[in-house]
A and B are shown apart, each in its own frame.
Chain A
Amino acid sequence: AQKVTQAQTEISVVEKEDVTLDCVYETRDTTYYLFWYKQPPSGELVFLIRRNSFDEQNEISGRYSWNFQKSTSSFNFTITASQVVDSAVYFCALSEAYNQGGKLIFGQGTELSVKP
């Protein structure tokens, strides 16, 4: 069965701290895609990254970086030098290539609070 687990329900950090949001997934597919979305208080989900199962290269985009490790079925997200504007709920999601019609399977989300 497909499943995404974000074990951290809430994280609170002080501005400029680095923070890592964990994501562990389960799937039987060999071809799948992983996503991270940000949901600020306004409610809109903002797409951050999409990674396919054949590309294990880590990615960096400004203060954001992602570590994909198939061996541990994890796709963790790190924010470096966090800012108050990073406060939001972050969702990790999985989409399988050949099952479920490409539906997104979401984790429960991690609420990040960055305090000044």
Chain B
Amino acid sequence: GAVVSQHPSRVICKSGTSVKIECRSLDFQATTMFWYRQFPKQSLMLMATSNEGSKATYEQGVEKDKFLINHASLTLSTLTVTSAHPEDSSFYICSARGREGHSTDTQYFGPGTRLTVL
């Protein structure tokens, strides 16, 4: 149980285009999902917290107009990188918080999406 999927796993796009990444909890409902960014050889950096049916909460320094997050259902959150530029190239990982409904439930992670912007 507690499987989280991400799609696509890898995407290459041209500068200026927008890219949408999907995060799904496959066998549980997740009222809260998180989006992280990870640079090579570094730890995960939290970008935003996504709550079903409400606006995402962005971390300081993360541009909300650049990284659009939508959490339309209890099993799906999407991250759209708008007008992508080479500096947006990174590994993006989502997580879904576990089923007990508590803020400290275990977060289960998706397999990640490697974005390369040419």
Inside 8 A of A106's CB, which chain B residues have their CB?
Answer: 43-44
B109 with A42: CB separation less than 8 A:
no
**How distant is the Cα of A109 from the Cα of B43 in the complex, in angstroms?**
6
| B45 closest partner in A (C-beta) | A106
Q: Which residue of A52, A101, A108 contacts B103 across the interface (Cβ within 8 Å)?
A: A101
Inside 8 A of B43's CB, which chain A residues have their CB?
Answer: 91, 106-109
Interface size on B (CB < 8 Å)? 26
B103 with A50: CB separation less than 8 A:
no
Interface size on A (CB < 8 Å)? 25
A35 interface hit (Cβ, 8 Å): yes
Inside 8 A of A47's CB, which chain B residues have their CB?
Answer: 2, 106-109
Interface positions, chain B 8-52, Cβ under 8 Å from A, are: 32, 34, 41-44, 46, 49
B103 with A45: CB separation less than 8 A:
no
A103 with B49: CB separation less than 8 A:
yes
| A103 closest partner in B (C-beta) | B46
A37 interface hit (Cβ, 8 Å): yes
| B106 closest partner in A (C-beta) | A50
| A101 closest partner in B (C-beta) | B103
A101 with B44: CB separation less than 8 A:
no
B102 with A102: CB separation less than 8 A:
yes
A44 interface hit (Cβ, 8 Å): yes
Interface positions, chain B 58-106, Cβ under 8 Å from A, are: 91, 93, 95, 97, 102-106
Known: A91-B44, A102-B97, A103-B49. A43 touches B91 (CB 8 A): yes
Looking at the assembled complex, report how far the CB atom of B101 sits from the nearest CB atom of chain A, in whole angstroms: 11
**How distant is the Cα of A43 from the Cα of B90 in the complex, in angstroms?**
12
Known: A91-B44, A108-B43, A109-B43. A102 touches B111 (CB 8 A): no
**Which residues of A are in contact with B by a Cβ distance under 8 Å?**
32-33, 35, 37, 42-47, 50, 52, 91, 95-97, 101-104, 106-109, 111
Q: List 17 A-B contacts (CB under 8 A).
A: A35-B107, A37-B109, A42-B111, A43-B91, A43-B111, A43-B114, A44-B109, A44-B112, A47-B107, A91-B43, A91-B44, A97-B104, A101-B49, A101-B57, A104-B107, A109-B42, A109-B43
Name the 3 nearest CB pairs between A and B, nearest first.
A102-B103, A45-B109, A44-B111
